[in-house]
Amino acid sequence: MSTGIYKHIHFIFLLLMFFQPTKLEIILFPGSRKSEIKQFEVDGMTIDSLFHNLQTLVYHNPDSARLLALKGIKIAHEGKQSDWEIRLLNLVGASHAIESKYLKALEYYHRALEVAQQFGNLERSGDTYNNIGGINYFARNYTEAIANYLEALSYYEKNKAYDKIAGVHCNIGILYAALDNPEKAMYHYNAGLHGFKKLQLLPGQTVVLSHMARSYLTANKYDSALILINKAIDLSRDIHELYSLSTSLKTKGDIYLAQGQYGDALTLFNQSETEALKINNKSTLGTIYIGFATAYIEIGELIKAMKYAVNALEFAEDVNDEQMIVDAHLMLSKIYEKTTDFQKSLQHYQTAAELKNRILNESKLHSIYHKEIQHLSKDKEIQRLEIERQQYLINQRNNTIFIIILVSLVIIIIVAAIYYYYANKVRSDQQKKINEANLKATEERSKVALDAEIQERKQIGLELHDRVGPLLSLAKLNITALADYSTNGNGTKQKMLGNTLETINEILKEIKQISQNMAPVILIEKGFEAAIKNLVVRLNETKNHIVSLDMYGLNGKLEPYVEHVLYRSILESINNILRHANGTEINIQIIGSPDDITVMIEDNGQGFDPSTLQQNKGLGMKSTCNRIESLKGSVFIDSKIGMGTIVTFIVPLTKEMKA
């Protein structure tokens, strides 16, 4: 079966122009950088709009499209719009190719390539080489066709035009299929299909699947061919691609025709004709009518076969597809031979042979153009290589300067970093020494303040005990004597003296208690451990609480200010229990170690919410926390309403704290 120029040209266009709303059977490449191309007007229409319209017009009226494109070429050339100039030159070449004027097509492709090479336009160079490869394919110059396709592939790879790379792979596959090399054809078909799948370009996939199916048909692998063509048909219907649908239905009809299933083949040809008529695709209609004619010859209906062969010839002549004209004449020759009209059979055969010879002669002229293009390419390649060499030298010099600057900057940064590190280290060491000195001074001040507080408390306690105490005791003796002397006196006076005596007794007890709390003699004389034990004994004597004491690990005496802080803190915590806890038991645990002293005071009182502690205006607990923190210690309070309270002090021991 003939592939025909129209079919192949559409194939190339479909692969590289699938994003356009109208599918045209021409070799056009709009490119992918519209935003970089300056717009201008031709006959009052922007070049972008004009080009879009020309793609449709060239299919229906190549002459009119060509005239408008030539105007655009002149304006683009004068305005130095090289990209548009190349695209329009390719369009004019395509208009000639549609009319099978291959030499004229090559002339404009040659001009397009010259401009593309002059301005170093990689993508347009690839487009033009691809078009030239298509022309050589139609002229059966397969060697030159593959050379041009490979050139196009090289330019597209440099420009990373992956959609067009996939398209060229499929074109090369078609060429190898024409050379009866199914292995190579399938390799390139698969490369093209993989590219389209990766880019998710469905129209391209439909075309590749259709051509792969035709290759399996040529190899008589009908099952494989049907699987692929069915995929192509389903995909074409999903994306509403009428051209691919009509050609795929035609290919499926050819598969059934090859298997002798003429009824199924005719049904598919009818479906294909319906879709092709919707888009007035004369090239595909011509191949469909040849299929009809072939099927009717096989089933012996020669009149119908004659009708479709004549239709095919008319469509081929209408689109000037020389290869399809050859196929139509050969079909008519076969039909007339079967009807025993040998004269007409011979006439059609001779016409087909003459046209075929003319195509072969034209292929020689194509070779001349190919040589010219090769020469042009070599000159431009030499020029390009020289430019690249000069650019390389410039880049090498720039790179050397850049490296010197970079190394200098790195050295400066390293020196600055070292200086910054050293300066920071010196500042850090100095600050550390200052902080240590400040901390030591603070500790010394705290120690002096605590020592002063201890001495002051001791002095006040002794004053209360040695001076105020004796005076109150003397007053008590006098009042007692007075009470004894006035035994027989007024009863009211006697009662008042008794009350006064009781008050003095209470004052003496309080003064004694205050004196012991402020400067307990036992703490001063016997140390912390004995003082705590004495405190517990005195608490138990009140019989208001059951107080227990567990104390171990205290080896040796501590510095007086440490013992004083611990004693005062424990005393303050117990006072808080006596005033607020409403409990009956108090448990005191004091655990010593070489590193710290831990004090735990637990009661079974009513407890409280620790979060409210900050709202409490009392100074007792705040004073305790301040004392413990002055020794770098920590205070922990664990309490819950109705569950009692545990107060824990942890005071680290340093060498200075040990006596």
pLDDT digits (tens, 9 = 90+) for 346-364: 998 898 888 878 766 665 5
In the three-class reduction of DSSP (H, G, I as helix; E, B as strand; rest coil), residue 293 is classed as helix
CB within 8 A of 553, min separation 6: which ones? 591, 592, 593
Which of the four pLDDT bands, split at 50, 70 and 90, describes residue 36?
Answer: very low
Judge contact between 638 and 612, C-beta under 8 A: no
Nearest in space to 141 (alpha carbons), one of 409, 340, 353, 365: 365
C-alpha span between 339 and 656 (Å, rounded): 132
Per-residue pLDDT, 263: 93
Which of the four pLDDT bands, split at 50, 70 and 90, describes residue 220?
Answer: very high
Judge contact between 201 and 243, C-beta under 8 A: no
* pTM of the predicted structure, to 2 decimals: 0.51
Which run of H or E residues covers position 590? strand 585-592
**Model confidence pLDDT, tens digit, residues 382-415:** 666 667 777 888 888 888 898 999 898 999 999 8
- Which span out of 235-244, 301-310, 433-442 was modeled with the highest average pLDDT? 301-310
Instruction: Check the CA dihedral 179-281-15-235 and report its sign.
Output: negative
Is 652's pLDDT higher than 70?
A: yes
Ordered structural domains, the chain, with CATH? 1-141 (1.25.40.10), 201-278 (1.25.40.10), 523-657 (3.30.565.10)
Interval 275-289 mean pLDDT: 83
Which of the four pLDDT bands, split at 50, 70 and 90, describes residue 295?
Answer: very high
**Model confidence pLDDT, tens digit, residues 450-502:** 565 655 555 565 556 555 656 666 666 667 666 666 555 566 666 676 777 67
Per-residue pLDDT, 169: 92
Place of tokens 């007794």: 505
Phi-psi region of 107 (alpha: psi -120 to 50; beta: other; left: phi over 0): alpha
Q: Mean pLDDT, the chain, as a whole number?
A: 79
